Copies of this chain bind each other. A is one copy, B any other.
Amino acid sequence: MYPGGWNNLTPEMLPLAVQAAMAAIEKICPEARNLLLIPENHTRNTFYLSNVAQLARIFNMAGLNVRIGSINPEIKENTLIDLPNGDSVMLEPVIRNKTRLGLKNFDPCTILLNNDLSAGIPGILEDLHEQYLLPPLHAGWCVRRKSTHFANYEEVTKRFGKLIGIDPWLINPMFSQCGEVNFAEGEGMECLTTNVDALLTKIRRKYKEFGIHEKPFVIVKADNGTYGMGIMTVRDVKDLEVLNRKTRNKMSVVKDGQEVNQVIIQEGVQTNERINDAVAEPVVYMMDRYVVGGFYRVHAERGIDENLNAPGASFVPLAFEQSAHTPQPGMKPGASAPNRFYMYGVIARLAMLAGSYELEATDPDAEVYE
């Protein structure tokens, strides 16, 4: 919902993103000329700001006037920030009146949020009923839960699995959740232990059914967190008993100092793709309902059962060689790179569909038809 890393896509993918942006904007705001992009409050993370610059460029190519409005209270005047590639981004302080949000001499029709609101919904973004806010406020990570998303994704995969005649488990890792866990204080560990144990048992059963000879594992993470912090691989329930201080600390703090309370436990899936021997996982980018590209997240120092979305110098994004639009008909799903990229794109589209069901169900202003 708040994609970073647009700067990792290849120039070849850019036209697809531009075309998708045209289709997206046309639908919601056909007369729209002005788009306000609201980034995270980072002012020194130039990698992130390169992403913002690329996103602005895409919507600019789609024919819009794009400006970047910061809701960071520290940005009190226009601030030009140089980027490593020689570009720069101008962060402008937003101006709010009673009904609209804008910049000095800039009244946007659409406001595109690239700020995931994990610290809560700032008042300055509330009650903007005249402008399109994309995504809506209830998509923010202060409201959103991973478990809600995966519950919706599960429903989608059940229907899709039935449609094409596959066990939905093949595209839907199992999960469960615990409502109250505090790693620092060691509270709620019983719920976690029970759920991890149950999930490992369910995975073992599935592995047996499908003849998979691997050791099951689960991933424990914050149900509301982002940024890959506080993510733990658990291969045995006993691992939980001997959690050391360091791991507890890592698990107890997520972005913006929020304490972990709600926890999601997901079936671990081995990362079997490799780029130059390093474990690599595909990341697919969508705009509106279109798959526009993707890349591999590569982490040479991580194993096949670990989270790759982790800080570290060896994080190497590598663009897909080809678009996910043009599979090779007649060849098996994973047999060729184009078909593999296409397959990833299908999963991404199912996840997008799940996301839209999720937002529909959590919309506080939803109209109820009885």
Hey, which bits of chain A sit against chain B, CB under 8 A? 11-12, 14-16, 18-20, 22-23, 60-61, 290, 292, 323, 325-327, 329
Q: 21 interchain pairs (CB within 8 A)?
A: A11-B326, A12-B12, A14-B326, A15-B16, A15-B325, A15-B326, A16-B16, A16-B19, A18-B323, A18-B325, A19-B19, A19-B20, A19-B290, A19-B292, A19-B325, A22-B290, A23-B23, A60-B329, A61-B325, A61-B326, A61-B327
How many Å from the CB of A291 to the closest CB on chain B? 9
Interface centre among A11, A292, A323, A325 (most CB of B within 10 A): A325
User: A325–B14 contact, CB under 8 A?
Assistant: yes
Contacts of A61 in B (CB 8 A): 325-327
How many Å from the CB of A108 to the closest CB on chain B? 19
A325–B57 Cα distance when bound, in Å, is 11
How many Å from the CB of A331 to the closest CB on chain B? 14
Question: Main SS of chain A's interface residues?
Answer: helix
A290–B20 Cα distance when bound, in Å, is 10
Contacts of A326 in B (CB 8 A): 11, 14-15, 18, 61
> Considering only CB atoms, which chain B residue lies closest to A329 in the complex?
B60
Pairs A-B, 4 closest by C-beta atoms: A15-B323, A15-B325, A18-B325, A23-B23
Contacts of A327 in B (CB 8 A): 61
A316–B55 Cα distance when bound, in Å, is 37
Contacts of A60 in B (CB 8 A): 329
A325–B323 Cα distance when bound, in Å, is 16
A61–B323 Cα distance when bound, in Å, is 12
A296–B108 Cα distance when bound, in Å, is 39
A347–B326 Cα distance when bound, in Å, is 28
> Considering only CB atoms, which chain B residue lies closest to A288 in the complex?
B23
How many Å from the CB of A64 to the closest CB on chain B? 13
Contacts of A325 in B (CB 8 A): 14-15, 18-19, 61
How many Å from the CB of A10 to the closest CB on chain B? 10
Contacts of A20 in B (CB 8 A): 19
A328–B16 Cα distance when bound, in Å, is 16
Other contacts beyond A12-B12, A15-B325, A19-B325: 11, CB < 8 A = A14-B323, A14-B325, A15-B16, A16-B19, A19-B290, A19-B292, A22-B290, A23-B23, A60-B329, A61-B326, A61-B327
A60–B327 Cα distance when bound, in Å, is 10
A148–B288 Cα distance when bound, in Å, is 37
